[in-house]
């Protein structure tokens, strides 16, 4: 069964994600009419679109049958894929992080930092993160009642936390933010490296390659330093870590830094900004949360479900398989749509409403299975601490202009959330 | 005979915590359900990791 062309173009279109509603409408149609079907947007190889919550979990739960790294792990055009393979000696990946790996490498590389990211270890960071969160709240209070919550607060607080953990000095944080936005906002004229309104596949891949190159140059220096002078930071773990009985591969080490330095803050920023935007648009939900701060954990999960900042990952079947009654052939490419899974009417009651007391709320925003987000506990802890500090001081919030989403079919979230507010 | 203390188990993939005292009512596991009484084919509700890949932890 083929997905209508207009829908197929919408679900890969960065601009549609920037508007949100066309994407929501497209996936609502697909969940209802053809929950697992093939799309072939212009310029792309055909791929299955997995839209239902249960089917996403079925695919992600079988990481030997559905690989991450056999083909591109995120949507790419045929021309973009050809260029990357040419640059990377046949590999479809510009970087090779946990996201692009399968076993046995995936497990070996994940174990390197897995215990570090577990809640019992993160507890040690709580006091310092609270200090950073208080600084962010004080900064918001000092703004005098008006700010762009996305760029003034939400982008900067998780950035500072992860850079301190990684060991990047504070003066380099603006560079890290800029490079992250270039990577995830490559199709957004405001965030991309070139700033062009329209880019060809070639321009986009070259811009991404330059951004990755800049990251690699930075982290190569850091590796040298941490090998000579190890510290108590994540960079020292990566620089001096061992996998399969030896040091990390060069590309793999660089990719490890890059994923921590990008995914380690951008998704948390997106979710924080989305959560506040939703409260500003739903005063009854803000009042409920103010009245009962014990709802903060529920509010956080609802913000994560609502934002679902990672819009998709791709999988490749390693053998013929059947999912939801459809025959998937070996080598088929599959798009897992997390926002669609998180709006699945069969799982979430009234999925298009933002409810701070939603329970249960087992969304798939962090993925599922062996590749489930390694940093989920850190992200949730950062957000919990911020809201524990901010909520008691925030008396009112309202939008002060139009909020805007970035244009990206991969990692996407608010780039501007202008608000007016009163704080005590 | 004194009841043994409730134990806490953690998924080694995603960090999900199963506390025997609290159970997980959303999963049909009532408070007080012992780890040993959970079926062997049960998987982590957050990431699908098998029961055998959980470890007992001290919180």
* Nearest Cα residue in chain A from B10: A118
| pLDDT exceeds cutoff 60 at A365 | yes
| pLDDT exceeds cutoff 80 at B58 | no
How many residues are there in chain A?
424
pLDDT for A241 equals 94
Q: Which residues of B21-49 are buried (b: 16+ CB within 10 A; e: fewer)?
A: eebbeeeebeeebebeebeeeebbbbbbb
| Residue A422 backbone phi and psi in degrees, to 5 | -120, 135
DSSP 8-state class, residue A393 = G
pLDDT in tens, A147-191: 999 999 999 999 999 999 999 999 999 999 999 999 988 888 888
Could you tell me which residues of chain A have a Cβ less than 8 Å from any Cβ in chain B?
A: 57, 60-61, 114, 117-120, 360, 362, 366, 368-370, 372, 376-377
pLDDT for B59 equals 67
| pLDDT exceeds cutoff 80 at B3 | no
A416 vs B45, higher pLDDT: A416
Q: Which residue has the tokens 């991309």?
A: A192
Q: Which of B11, B48, B58 to mutate to test the interface with A (most CBs of A within 10 A)?
A: B48
Bridge partners of A2? A38
pLDDT in tens, A17-43: 999 999 999 999 999 999 999 999 999
Overall average pLDDT of the A347-365 stretch: 97
Nearest to B15 among A362, A368, A377 (CB): A377
Q: Which of A119, A124, A375, A380 to mutate to test the interface with B (most CBs of B within 10 A)?
A: A119
Using CA atoms, how far apart are residues A169 and A187, in angstroms rounded to an integer?
29
Residues of chain A found within 8 Å of residue B18, distances taken between Cβ atoms: none
| pLDDT exceeds cutoff 80 at A376 | yes
pLDDT in tens, A248-257: 999 999 999 9
User: Quick one: pLDDT band at residue B1, thresholds 50, 70, 90?
Assistant: very low
- Residue A205's CB is within 10 A of a number of other CB atoms, namely 23
Using CA atoms, how far apart are residues A264 and A166, in angstroms rounded to an integer?
10
pTM for the whole thing?
0.94
Tell if the CB–CB gap between B10 and A118 is shorter than 8 Å. yes
Tokens of A317: 């079947």
The DSSP line for A345-377 is TTTSSSTTS--TT--S----TT--GGGS-TTHH
User: Quick one: pLDDT band at residue A194, thresholds 50, 70, 90?
Assistant: confident
Cβ pair A347, A32 in contact under 8 A: no
Tell if the CB–CB gap between A368 and B12 is shorter than 8 Å. no
Tell if the CB–CB gap between A372 and B17 is shorter than 8 Å. no
Tell if the CB–CB gap between A119 and B17 is shorter than 8 Å. yes
| pLDDT exceeds cutoff 80 at A130 | yes
Lowest mean pLDDT among A1-10, A30-39, A123-132, B49-58: B49-58
B58: left (phi over 0), alpha (psi -120 to 50) or beta: beta
Q: How far is B7 from chain A (nearest CA, A)?
A: 16
Residues of chain B found within 8 Å of residue A117, distances taken between Cβ atoms: 15
Nearest to A372 among B13, B26, B57 (CB): B13
**What is the interface size between A and B, counted as CB pairs within 8 Å?**
34
User: Quick one: pLDDT band at residue A120, thresholds 50, 70, 90?
Assistant: confident
| pLDDT exceeds cutoff 90 at A198 | no
A303 vs B15, higher pLDDT: A303
Using CA atoms, how far apart are residues A339 and A123, in angstroms rounded to an integer?
30
Tell if the CB–CB gap between A376 and B14 is shorter than 8 Å. yes
Cβ pair A105, A70 in contact under 8 A: no
Q: How far is B2 from chain A (nearest CA, A)?
A: 29
Q: What is the CATH number of the domain that holds A387?
A: 1.10.630.10
B59 vs A422, higher pLDDT: A422
pLDDT for B46 equals 86
pLDDT in tens, A303-350: 999 999 999 999 999 999 999 999 999 999 999 999 999 999 999 999
* Nearest Cα residue in chain B from A111: B13
pLDDT above 70 covers what percent of chain A? Answer: 100
Helix (H) / strand (E) containing A242: strand A242-243
* Nearest Cα residue in chain B from A375: B14
pLDDT for A202 equals 87
**Where in the sequence is the domain holding A302, given as residue range(s)?**
5-423
Q: How far is A233 from chain B (nearest CA, A)?
A: 21
Tokens of A223: 């590796």
Cβ pair A358, A301 in contact under 8 A: yes
Count of alpha carbons within 13 angstroms of residue A344, beta-carbon side: 22
pLDDT for A339 equals 98
Q: Which of B8, B9, B12, B14 to mutate to test the interface with A (most CBs of A within 10 A)?
A: B14
| pLDDT exceeds cutoff 70 at B2 | no
Using CA atoms, how far apart are residues A326 and A360, in angstroms rounded to an integer?
29
Q: How far is B10 from chain A (nearest CA, A)?
A: 10
Using CA atoms, how far apart are residues A187 and A201, in angstroms rounded to an integer?
10
Cβ pair A180, A404 in contact under 8 A: no
Tell if the CB–CB gap between A376 and B15 is shorter than 8 Å. yes
Tell if the CB–CB gap between B15 and A360 is shorter than 8 Å. no
Nearest to A362 among B17, B43, B45 (CB): B45
The interface predicted TM-score (ipTM) is 0.77
Q: Which of A369, A371, A376 to mutate to test the interface with B (most CBs of B within 10 A)?
A: A369
- Nearest Cα to B32, choosing from B44, B15, B45, B18? B18
CA angle (A46, A322, A64) in 5-degree steps: 85
Q: Which long-range contacts (CB under 8 A, 24 or more apart) does B50-56 make?
A: B53/B11, B53/B12, B53/B13, B54/B9, B54/B10, B54/B11, B54/B12, B54/B18, B55/B9, B55/B10, B55/B12, B56/B7, B56/B8, B56/B9, B56/B10
* Nearest Cα residue in chain A from B49: A369
Cβ pair A342, A31 in contact under 8 A: no
Residues of chain A found within 8 Å of residue B42, distances taken between Cβ atoms: none
| pLDDT exceeds cutoff 90 at A282 | yes
- Nearest Cα to A35, choosing from A345, A332, A312? A345
What total of structural domains would you count in chain A?
Answer: 1
B26 vs B51, higher pLDDT: B51
| 3-state SS, residue A46 | coil
Using CA atoms, how far apart are residues A136 and A154, in angstroms rounded to an integer?
9
């Amino acid at each position: 069964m083929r997905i209508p062309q207009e829908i197929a173009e919408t679900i890969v279109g960065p601009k549609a994600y920037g508007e949100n509603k066309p994407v929501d409408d497209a996936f609502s149609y697909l969940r209802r009419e053809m929950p697992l079907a093939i799309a072939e947007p212009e310029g792309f190889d055909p791929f299955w679109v997995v839209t239902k919550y249960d089917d996403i979990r079925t695919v992600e739960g079988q990481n030997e049958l559905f690989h991450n790294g056999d083909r591109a792990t995120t949507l790419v055009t045929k021309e973009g894929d050809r260029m990357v393979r040419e640059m990377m000696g046949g590999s479809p990946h510009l970087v090779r992080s946990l996201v692009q790996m399968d076993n046995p490498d995936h497990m070996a590389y994940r174990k390197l930092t897995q215990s570090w990211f577990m809640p019992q270890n993160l507890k040690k960071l709580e006091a310092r993160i609270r200090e950073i969160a208080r600084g962010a709240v004080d900064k918001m209070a000092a703004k005098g009642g008006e700010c762009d919550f996305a760029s003034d607060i939400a982008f900067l607080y998780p950035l500072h936390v992860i850079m301190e953990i990684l060991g990047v000095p504070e003066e380099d944080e603006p560079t890290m933010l800029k490079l992250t936005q270039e990577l995830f906002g490559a199709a957004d004229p405001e965030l991309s490296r070139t700033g062009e309104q329209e880019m060809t596949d070639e321009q986009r891949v070259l811009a991404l390659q330059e951004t990755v190159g800049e990251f690699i140059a930075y982290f190569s220096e850091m590796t040298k330093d941490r090998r000579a002078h190890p510290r108590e930071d994540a960079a020292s773990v990566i620089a001096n870590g061992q996998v399969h009985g030896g040091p990390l591969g060069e590309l793999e080490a660089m990719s490890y830094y890059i994923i921590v330095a990008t995914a380690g803050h951008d998704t948390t920023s997106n979710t924080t900004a989305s959560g506040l935007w939703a409260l500003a648009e739903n005063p009854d939900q803000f009042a409920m949360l103010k009245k009962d701060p014990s709802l903060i954990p529920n509010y956080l999960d609802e913000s994560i479900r609502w934002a679902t900042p990672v819009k998709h990952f791709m999988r490749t079947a390693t053998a013929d398989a059947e999912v939801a009654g459809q025959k998937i052939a070996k080598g088929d490419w599959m798009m897992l749509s997390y926002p669609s899974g998180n709006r699945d009417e069969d799982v979430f009651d009234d999925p298009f409403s933002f409810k701070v007391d939603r329970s249960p709320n087992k969304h798939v925003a962090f993925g599922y299975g062996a590749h489930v987000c390694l940093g989920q506990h850190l992200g949730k802890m950062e957000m919990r601490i911020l809201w524990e500090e901010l909520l008691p001081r925030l008396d009112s919030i309202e939008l002060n202009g139009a909020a805007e989403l970035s244009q990206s079919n991969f990692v996407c979230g608010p780039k501007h959330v202008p608000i007016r507010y009163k704080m005590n | 005979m004194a009841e043994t203390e409730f134990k806490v188990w953690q998924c080694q993939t995603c960090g999900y915590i199963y506390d025997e005292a609290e159970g997980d009512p959303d999963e049909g596991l009532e408070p007080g359900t012992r780890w040993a009484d959970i079926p062997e084919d049960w998987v982590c509700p957050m990431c699908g990791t098998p029961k055998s890949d959980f470890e007992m932890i001290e919180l």
